[in-house]
Amino acid sequence: MTELARRTGAVNLGQGVPELPSPPGLLEEVAGAVRAGSNQYPPAAGFPALREAVAGHQRRRYGLEYRPQDEVLVTTGATEALASALLALCDPGDEVIAFDPVYDAYPAGARFAGARLVPVPLAEDGDGFVLDADALRAAVTPRTRVLLLNTPHNPTGKVFTEAELAVVAGLCVEHGLTVVTDEVYEHLVYDEGVHRPLAALPGMRERTLVISSAGKTFNVTGWKVGWVCGPAPLVAAVAAAKQFLTYASGTPYQEALARALGGVEAWAAELRGTLRRNRDLLSEGLSRAGLRPLRAEAGYFLQADVRAWGYTDGVRFCRELPLRAGVVAIPTSAFQLYPDAPSHFVRFSFCKREESVLAAVEKLLKAA
Ligand SMILES: *Cc1c(COP(=O)(O)O)cnc(C)c1O
């Protein structure tokens, strides 16, 4: 789709690559660290100052205590943390449960480990999605090894509620499941929503690996600095896999982020304001163009229902949209593994400059 956008000169609301600025001080810090010679391998577990900053962040925001020495591991983005966690936890034949639509790295990560991803569909509920507790319960088998929870969720923009988290936690405790959470959008929850890590619920800290990353929070997706927090034995297992994937990376970025993470709240509040405005502009524009938008409580993306434009298939809609309207979107089916999943949703990203969002809206209205 990105290639199609380039070829047709369409406004690209496909990929979730931010067009938004990063904190200027953070960029200066990286430049300074490079010039000062921070260009060799960092410690395998990550810079101690960054591990301390991550531990401080988890304590301050969520009341979760992690020892920086052995319960925090810095990774090459959330992606490597996810892959390492699945390699560490799963044996061939194991099953990994995740909510569908699923981020594409999850089934790939499960396959690396010889395991299989079992998709559990989220249920449609008006203009959004809710947990289907029965579907979740039905997906657990004796082979289930890991439950992977992404909240805030990509691509739906759903934030799991306290009640939903309690259902998930109860099931994980009951069946002795190990949990991996992907919380890369933790700072991008809009309106009155709150992000709560599953690890903060009773009985969960000891069985949960919490993954996050700097990419989405600071608009630095190309830096690939992520981290994982959890009980020492689980983190050690992740570290053992990670050691032979990248060993370690991003020395100057790690140094700079160690300082930035302490002040993340002020930065994130400003970024949320920008993204929420974009979301509202795009959502209103999609509505006016007849493409019913779903609610996006968090993150970078809005789903829209394409049926009013005469399509039943989001793939065909996305192939034709660049020519018909000069806009690029991605079919939600790219993230759906569940066989009966609806095919009429597409995903638009709004992590773009306001001009890009407005240009896309104008083009959609013209083509409607
Ligand atoms: C972007 C994204 C990631 C990847 O994070 P990196 O730190 O860039 O590796 C992981 N999970 C979800 C849900 C994402 O949207």
> Which range, of 8-22, 65-79, 151-165, 282-296, averages the lowest pLDDT?
8-22
Q: Is the beta carbon of 155 within 6 A of some atom in ligand 1?
A: no
Q: Give the C-alpha separation, 212 to 199, whole Å.
A: 13
Centre of ligand 1 to C-alpha 78, Å, is 5
Give strand pairing partners of 119: 98
Listed in sequence order, the residues at least 6 apart from 316 whose beta carbon sits closer than 8 Å to its beta carbon are none
Q: Which of 302, 276, 284 is nearest to 158 (CA)?
A: 302
By CB atoms closer than 10 A (0-12, 13-18, 19+), residue 220 is: buried
Inform me whether the pLDDT recorded for 2 exceeds 90: no
Q: Which of 367, 308, 323, 355 is nearest to 346 (CA)?
A: 308
Inform me whether the pLDDT recorded for 232 exceeds 90: yes
Tens digits of residue pLDDT in 310-367:
999 999 999 999 999 999 999 999 999 988 889 999 999 999 999 999 999 999 999 9
Angle between helical axes of 48-62 and 251-260 (0-180°, round to 10): 30
Q: What is the pTM of this model?
A: 0.97
How much of the chain exceeds pLDDT 70, in percent?
100
Mutate to test the pocket of ligand 1, among 149, 156, 182, 246 (most ligand atoms within 8 A of CB): 182
Task: Tell which phi-psi region holds residue 363, choosing left (phi > 0), alpha (psi between -120 and 50) or beta.
Answer: alpha
Q: Is the beta carbon of 182 within 6 A of some atom in ligand 1?
A: yes
Q: Is the beta carbon of 150 within 6 A of some atom in ligand 1?
A: yes
Q: Is the beta carbon of 356 within 6 A of some atom in ligand 1?
A: no
Tens digits of residue pLDDT in 239-288:
999 999 999 999 999 999 999 999 999 999 999 999 999 999 999 999 99
Question: What number is the average pLDDT over the span 147-155?
Answer: 97
Q: Which of 197, 201, 143 is nearest to 169 (CA)?
A: 201
| Per-residue confidence band for 8, with pLDDT thresholds at 50, 70 and 90 | confident
Amino acid at residue number 81: A
Q: Which of 233, 185, 259 is nearest to 27 (CA)?
A: 259
Mutate to test the pocket of ligand 1, among 100, 104, 154, 257 (most ligand atoms within 8 A of CB): 154
Give the per-residue pLDDT at 33. 97
Q: Which of 150, 136, 201, 222 is nearest to 180 (CA)?
A: 150
| Per-residue confidence band for 5, with pLDDT thresholds at 50, 70 and 90 | confident
Residue nearest to atom 13 of ligand 1 (CA): 154
Residue nearest to atom 5 of ligand 1 (CA): 78
Residue nearest to atom 2 of ligand 1 (CA): 184
Q: Is the beta carbon of 343 within 6 A of some atom in ligand 1?
A: no
Mutate to test the pocket of ligand 1, among 184, 227, 242, 301 (most ligand atoms within 8 A of CB): 184
Q: Are 84 and 245 in contact (CB under 8 A)?
A: yes
Centre of ligand 1 to C-alpha 214, Å, is 9
Give the per-residue pLDDT at 86. 98
